[in-house]
Homo-oligomer: A and B are copies of this chain.
Amino acid sequence: MEQPICLVGIGKIAVDQHVPAIAASGDWTLAATVSRAGTVEGVPSYSDFDAMLAERQDIHTISLCLPPVPRYDYAARAIAAGRHVMLEKPPGATLAEVQDLQTMAAARGVSLYTTWHSRMAKGVAAAKVFLSDKVVTGGHIDWKEDVRRWHPDQDWIFEPGGMGVFDPGINALSILTNVLPAPVHIKSAELQFPANKFTPIAASVQFSGDLTMELDWLNEGRQMWEMTLRAGGDVVALLDGGNRCVINDVEVAGTTLDEYPALYHHMATLVREGRSDVDLAPMVHVSDAMTLGKRINVAPFSF
């Protein structure tokens, strides 16, 4: 039976991904939205989150796709009101606030899910299975896209806490931390900050274990979201944001569901089983890069 769910923050990612995923789901019905501006045709909309929580006792699950900075307050209020909560990535503006939400959800007996949509890309599971009994000996990540094309006028990504190029880069890190059989850590990083912005627009990161990562938000050529991992003589390539997996030059079969439908399916399982799924590993690497990274000033940026 389909359960009612409320979607908060009707912006680009909600319209592009969350609304169609919920519409196609056999687990969920979109029963309400909360947003300052956006609405979804035929769905009751609220601008006051507390009013929705009070009025709609039929809705037990809330999906938050606001930007990371305001997300904590909404999540804390939803948990306090006894609702299950699903968080877009990154799950917050700070690590401490997500650890706090985790403690609150456990105490209140509700499910908390820090989603990482790229982990649900269709090639990821095959890469993880193949590498599970290997020793990874090196690799490289290229996550190079055109910010003007994928994040048009999203000024918040350049404000403090917006993470800049690590907003897409954390997708690569969510895949990496999922498929690696043993953890790595950042040894050094160079971060390029536009002179007029508070977050980096490009980054070059060196991990332990001969693993490197290049993030670039000014790539107007071929859009690249790919990584190659070596394990001795074996080579695993994840292409198209993890949606294709090529092992030793042979393309392998992927999982069935698209990324967001798979997230909503997993959330239904968590709620049914009374569990949470909170993994901060991708965000720890971003925080480590921002703490350890060497800042380099580059040309001002405008959309």
- Chain B min CB distance to A65 (Å): 20
- Contacting chain B: which of A4-12, A53-61, A130-138, A284-292? A284-292
A284 partner, pick from B99, B160, B281, B286, beta carbons under 8 A: B99
Give every chain B residue within 8 A of A161 (Cβ-Cβ): 291-292
Give every chain B residue within 8 A of A291 (Cβ-Cβ): 93-94, 161, 163, 286-287, 290-291
Contact A94 B290 (CB under 8 A): no
Give every chain B residue within 8 A of A72 (Cβ-Cβ): 185
Which residue of chain B lies nearest to A160 when distances are taken between CB atoms in the complex?
A: B294
- Chain B min CB distance to A90 (Å): 10
Candidate in A72, A94, A184 with the most chain B CB atoms within 10 angstroms:
A94
| In the bound complex, CA of A295 to CA of B161 (Å) | 11
A72-B185, A185-B72, A287-B287 known; A292+B160 contact, CB < 8 A:
yes
| In the bound complex, CA of A165 to CA of B287 (Å) | 17
A103 touches B (CB below 8 Å): yes
A167 touches B (CB below 8 Å): no
Which residue of chain B lies nearest to A96 when distances are taken between CB atoms in the complex?
A: B185
Which residue of chain B lies nearest to A184 when distances are taken between CB atoms in the complex?
A: B96
- Chain B min CB distance to A279 (Å): 12
Give every chain B residue within 8 A of A285 (Cβ-Cβ): 96
A293 touches B (CB below 8 Å): yes
The 0/1 profile, CB within 8 Å of B marked 1, for residues 139-165 of chain A is 000000000000000000000110100
The 0/1 profile, CB within 8 Å of B marked 1, for residues 96-126 of chain A is 1101100100000000000000000000000
How many copies the complex holds: the figure is 2
Give every chain B residue within 8 A of A25 (Cβ-Cβ): none
Contact B186 A288 (CB under 8 A): no
| In the bound complex, CA of A100 to CA of B182 (Å) | 9
| In the bound complex, CA of A163 to CA of B163 (Å) | 19
The 0/1 profile, CB within 8 Å of B marked 1, for residues 157-179 of chain A is 00011010000000000000000
Give every chain B residue within 8 A of A74 (Cβ-Cβ): none
Give every chain B residue within 8 A of A99 (Cβ-Cβ): 183, 284
Give every chain B residue within 8 A of A189 (Cβ-Cβ): 160
Contact A186 B292 (CB under 8 A): no
| In the bound complex, CA of A27 to CA of B188 (Å) | 38
A residues sitting closer than 8 Å to B (CB atoms) are 72, 93-97, 99-100, 103, 160-161, 163, 183-186, 188-189, 193, 198, 208, 281, 284-288, 290-295
- Some 12 contacts from A to B, beta carbons below 8 A apart, are A93-B288, A94-B288, A94-B291, A96-B281, A96-B284, A99-B183, A100-B185, A160-B292, A198-B295, A287-B287, A290-B291, A295-B295
